[in-house]
Amino acid sequence: MITRFILINTSHAGNVGAAARAMKTMGFDDLVLVAPRWANVLRREETIQRSSGALDVLDKCRIVDTLDEALDGLTHLCATAMTPRDFGPPTVTPREHFDSLSKSQQLTYIPRGLEVDLVDSVGPQQGIGFLFGSERFGMRNEDVYRCHACLSIPSNPQFGSLNLGAALQVIAYEWRLALGSFGVQTATQPPVLADAAQVAGMLAHLEQALVALEFLDPAAPKKLMPRLNGLFNRAQVTQEEVHILRGIAKSILRTCPEVKG
């Protein structure tokens, strides 16, 4: 399924770069500009800097003179607006609309690389377009009337103004959730738990240190070590944590040379 973001009469070059960045983070790359203020907007320094590396989206971006030229292959159009209009398509939140859209059209999801294509299981492939108006005056009524829905991002009623790039990011995120979101990338490798032998060796080393500190009386140990054994079992210590604890025990023993383990 085609997913296209259409910016109409964009007046700030940086917002084009921000839009490209927002799209790429959600796995989209079909961007069309309708009569932007700057004819060379895709090559302007501010655009490139604000794209933060989403140069492939800018390279693929098309610039057209009219909205009609941007709608090829699209069967469902979504306008974006902060406030509802007296006349025109229904105003809904992005999540609400995407949920009803997927249910009403019996859509299924088929992964294809990084992109996730949304395919109608009972008909031909379709395309969805998200329209964003000028930063200065928003979308024209004539353009809104052409759309099937008007998406309104829930925001503070006293301050609902969103930067174009930020608004596009929210819409792209919500649409990505509807298609099937990307998995969360973990920052670190999963921890490796210490096995029973490693825990036992650590406890033996720690016992020597506790004796050196005179915290543990070897003649009357009571249940201190079994309790510590249970504590570490519940904690599910990792191999790295075992190394840390054994390092502490080694340091203690080094400061108490009169005690031999």
Name all domains of the chain by residue range, CATH numbers in brackets. 2-179 (3.40.1280.10), 196-255 (1.10.8.590)
> Do residues 79 and 129 make contact, with C-beta atoms less than 8 angstroms apart?
no
What is the structure's pLDDT at 257?
Answer: 63
Residue 86's CB is within 10 A of a number of other CB atoms, namely 5
Q: Please give the DSSP secondary-structure letter assigned to residue 181.
A: P
What is the structure's pLDDT at 44?
Answer: 92
Residue 48's CB is within 10 A of a number of other CB atoms, namely 19
What is the structure's pLDDT at 188?
Answer: 75
Q: CA-to-CA distance for 183 and 173, rounded, in angstroms?
A: 13
Its sign, for the CA torsion 50, 53, 55, 61, is: negative
User: What angle is formed at CA 130 by the lines to CA 128 and CA 136, rounded to 5 degrees?
Assistant: 165
What is the structure's pLDDT at 258?
Answer: 62
> Do residues 28 and 54 make contact, with C-beta atoms less than 8 angstroms apart?
no
What is the structure's pLDDT at 162?
Answer: 84
Give pTM, 2 decimals. 0.69
CA distances from 181 to 26, 30, 125, 160, 177 (A): 8, 18, 20, 26, 5
pLDDT tens for each residue of the chain, 261 residues long: 899 999 999 999 999 999 999 999 999 999 999 999 988 999 999 999 999 999 999 999 999 999 999 999 999 999 987 666 667 788 899 999 998 887 765 443 333 333 334 333 323 457 999 999 988 888 888 999 999 999 999 888 888 778 999 999 999 999 999 988 777 777 777 889 999 999 999 999 999 999 999 899 888 888 999 999 999 999 999 999 999 999 999 999 988 866 544
